[in-house]
Structure 1
Amino acid sequence: SAFLGKPTTSSALLCRLRFVVGSYTLTRHLPLSYKKLDPLRGDVIEPLRIVPRISVEPLSSVVFATTPTVTLPVRIRAFGHVTNARLSVTRGTALITQTQPFTLRASTDTLITLSLQRNDLPPGGELELRVTDVSGTSYGRTVSTISYDHLPVLQYTRPARVTVVNTNLKITAKRIAYIDGAGDNIPDILRQLGCVVDVVNDETILRTDELLTYDAVVAGIRVINTRKSMKYLLPALHAYVERGGTLVMQYNTLQDMATRDIGPYPMPLANRRVTEEDAAVTITLPEHRLMTYPNRITEQDFSGWVQERGLYFPYEFDARYEAPLSMSDSKEQPLTGALLHLPYGKGRFIYCSLSLFRQLPAGVPGALRLFANLVSAGR
């Protein structure tokens, strides 16, 4: 609360300047800073920042242990020279793996790819990453900055940890085409699951024969809002489905829609959502393919979700859509538009308003199993 109303956070690094002029004394406290010359911006003044000797930066916040060997890439940034250092991965007091010694010069970095054995990993929880140098000093934090031209550079650190998702999971889709939307981590997560993921452009989307070489096409969140070309691309995607493809669309909002004809049949979106992340979920079609293949989905898979269930559910959709889930906030009427499935021609159109884009980076096992079912529905 001490910072409320201030334009910037007060610096913790201050120097005291004391001026004596005759009988007058003036004391000022000024933040420590440094000035550099930028070719485009001119003089740039930034606050002095104190950093640890080493920043430990896992490239993914979640490790999906779905194969016997799991890779974990970690970037090590050296702000100062380090000699004979080792990177270790621990769970509590138990050591899981440790690298051979390495040396880094100041202002350099290196990428270390760790190989973890699934049998050595816990069923869940967090792994801690630390670098210990030759003196025995240990470093276990990630240094991050927020930098914009109109703001002072802000620095923060956080523990170098990754969440483990060690669950029985099957995914039969192997090649996925991904259509960029507003931005999510879905491509990286699919690659961790062993899929080959290609981010496709408009020209590729229009070539149905090429799309049919993929096991599924996944559209990023809010693709209808951020990609105006979707007005012309959706008919091509519907044709892809009709000829045997699987299209998985994530949620969209009502603002700035490129088109309102999202599905092959009417499925108008509405500002209806389930904001309680622990809201009860009823599986109304327990034997539906999305609930059984290749992973059996139960109500337990909706435990441990974060922030919300989903948003902008379709409402009063065409009766040809199948809705295997029902849910609602407390004291609200049940909503059935969270997940829609439509057999269309030889393929499948799937519309998912569930907040999987939040659950997967958070390492929610049930959400991961459900998402594997969506992309595998046609395989």
Structure 2
Amino acid sequence: PVQFRSEGNIFSGEKRGELHVVPKFAVSVSPEIAVVPQSVSPATARGTDRDVRMTVINHSPAAANAVAQLELPHGWTSEPARAPIAFTRQDEAVTVRFRVTAPASVTPGNLVVKAHIIEGTTRYGEGYQVVEYPHTTRRHVLRTAGLMVKTLDVRVKPNLTIGYVMGVGDEVPPALEQLGARVELLTADDLAGADLNRFDVVMTGVRAYERRADLRANNQRLIEYAGAGGTVIVNYNKFEFNDAQYGPFPGEVGRDRVTDENSVVRVLQPQHPVFTTPNRIIDADWKGWRQERGLYFFDTAGRDPQIVDLLELEDPFPYNKGVKRGALVEAKVGQGRWIYVGLGLWRQLPAGTDGAYRLMANLVSLGKAPGIR
């Protein structure tokens, strides 16, 4: 076979690569998964349209003209329906943005939206991922361009506004927006002096207490916000959370985790609104999770009794056996709530896990739950 040889570094030495043939137009789509609530209502009105970005790379050695188009299920529409694109040279990339709209009522399930580039009578619909490491040869992994649209039976309280403190590698805010909530990313100035009472929920992102010095400095404002009737939700953190008392009562993040994504989950307070409002959490919501249940649970040792467990898990892994608590805890603070989430919702939401969306919808709906405001 035809090979390309190049000089690597002193560790890899000479590198050899085979000749790879790629599509004339390489197509990719973002996001790869979109979530749409089953029914349109005032609560989910923001969640029925989706922005889809199609990126096309021209690998032909000359200028080219083509048309970009999405292959949509029956009843779905996009604006624009078709988009002409023009390339002036090889290796040029063009991104087209489509606004995809679901019909007023859809059946729960998964739908595939494919992306196409049409040049004359020829269709192109593949992209590729380049895989290469210092110790391996380069490979091009071809895959069909498109996204999966998951239509879920999920509801959220209407007109929710969430103040969000971004964390590390955090993909939770787009998921909240897909549920229909309005999300505002909080800056250092917001944490220091903005009116937090305009938010139904204030949520801190993945390992935010590790990354955000402004959050650590102004944490007391979140506790005061909860005391005045708000809901504070803290996504998982590592041991930086233990450098001070950032929770409303004494307690620390521990080392417990549950590595089996299919492990047993027991709800300890089945009538709590986290499990009932507006979505009734059932056994099926704990199925189909990815990689793990969660990690860095809130430690049970030395914890103030006002911090209460809402569920417990049991890991069958031989080296981590036993019941684990701290995956989801709550403390009542004045008229409001403070909640720590060790469950890996941050991992499940980008993967489109159905139950994670329903549980997150209930968590953020606590800001409007009866008895809180």
Partner of 1:345: 334
Partner of 2:311: 325
Which structure 1 residue ranges, 5 or more long, are not aligned?
1-11, 16-29, 34-45
Partner of 1:354: 343
Query: Any idea what the Cα deviations from partners look like across 1:118-155, whole Å, max 9, x if unmatched?
Result: 4686633351413142444332233456899xx99986
| Aligned equivalent of 2:50, options 65, 68, 71 | 71
Partner of 2:11: none
Structure 1 vs Structure 2: percent identity of aligned residues? 28
Query: Any idea what the Cα deviations from partners look like across 1:259-313, whole Å, max 9, x if unmatched?
Result: 3413101222111011000001111111001111121112221110000001011
| Aligned equivalent of 1:62, options 30, 33, 48 | 33
Deviation at 1:218, TM superposition (A): 1.2
RMSD: 3.3
| Aligned equivalent of 1:102, options 84, 88, 108 | 84
| Aligned equivalent of 1:133, options 118, 122, 135 | 118
Whether the 8 Å contact between 2:67 and 2:119 is mirrored in structure 1 is: yes
| Aligned equivalent of 1:159, options 123, 144, 148 | 144
Matching of residue 273 in structure 1 with residue 257 in structure 2 = yes
2:108 is paired with a residue of what secondary structure?
coil
Which structure 2 residues correspond to residues 173-192 of structure 1 after superposition, within 5 A?
A: 174-192=160-178
1:198 is paired with a residue of what secondary structure?
strand
Q: Which has the higher contact order (CA 8 A, sep 6+)?
A: 2
Whether the 8 Å contact between 2:111 and 2:150 is mirrored in structure 1 is: no
Aligned in 2, Cα 1:95/1:197: closer, same or farther, shift over 3 Å? Answer: closer
Moved more, 323-332 or 156-165: 156-165
Q: Determine the C-alpha separation between the residues in 1 that align with 2:186 and 2:329.
A: 24
TM-score by length of 1: 0.78
Partner of 1:308: 292
Opposite residue 177 of structure 1, the aligned amino acid is G
Partner of 2:44: none
Partner of 1:89: 71
Whether the 8 Å contact between 1:141 and 1:157 is mirrored in structure 2 is: yes
Give 1 or 2: higher helix fraction.
2
2:101 is paired with a residue of what secondary structure?
strand
Matching of residue 335 in structure 1 with residue 335 in structure 2 = no
Partner of 1:142: 127
1:206 is paired with a residue of what secondary structure?
helix
Q: Determine the C-alpha separation between the residues in 1 that align with 2:260 and 2:171.
A: 23
Aligned in 2, Cα 1:135/1:198: closer, same or farther, shift over 3 Å? Answer: same
Q: Determine the C-alpha separation between the residues in 2 that align with 1:47 and 1:261.
A: 57
Q: Determine the C-alpha separation between the residues in 2 that align with 1:276 and 1:59.
A: 29
Aligned in 2, Cα 1:132/1:78: closer, same or farther, shift over 3 Å? Answer: same
Opposite residue 29 of structure 2, the aligned amino acid is P
Q: Determine the C-alpha separation between the residues in 2 that align with 1:353 and 1:220.
A: 12
Partner of 1:19: none
Which structure 2 residues correspond to residues 236-251 of structure 1 after superposition, within 5 A?
A: 236-251=221-236
Q: Determine the C-alpha separation between the residues in 1 that align with 2:2 and 2:229.
A: 63
Partner of 1:27: none
Which structure 2 residue ranges, 5 or more long, are not aligned?
9-16, 41-47, 369-373
| Aligned equivalent of 2:360, options 359, 371, 375 | 371
Aligned in 2, Cα 1:146/1:180: closer, same or farther, shift over 3 Å? Answer: farther
Query: Any idea what the Cα deviations from partners look like across 1:52-110, whole Å, max 9, x if unmatched?
Result: 3323332212211115443241223241455453423257xx89668336242242413
1:307 is paired with a residue of what secondary structure?
coil
Aligned in 2, Cα 1:181/1:85: closer, same or farther, shift over 3 Å? Answer: same
2:210 is paired with a residue of what secondary structure?
helix
Whether the 8 Å contact between 1:228 and 1:258 is mirrored in structure 2 is: no
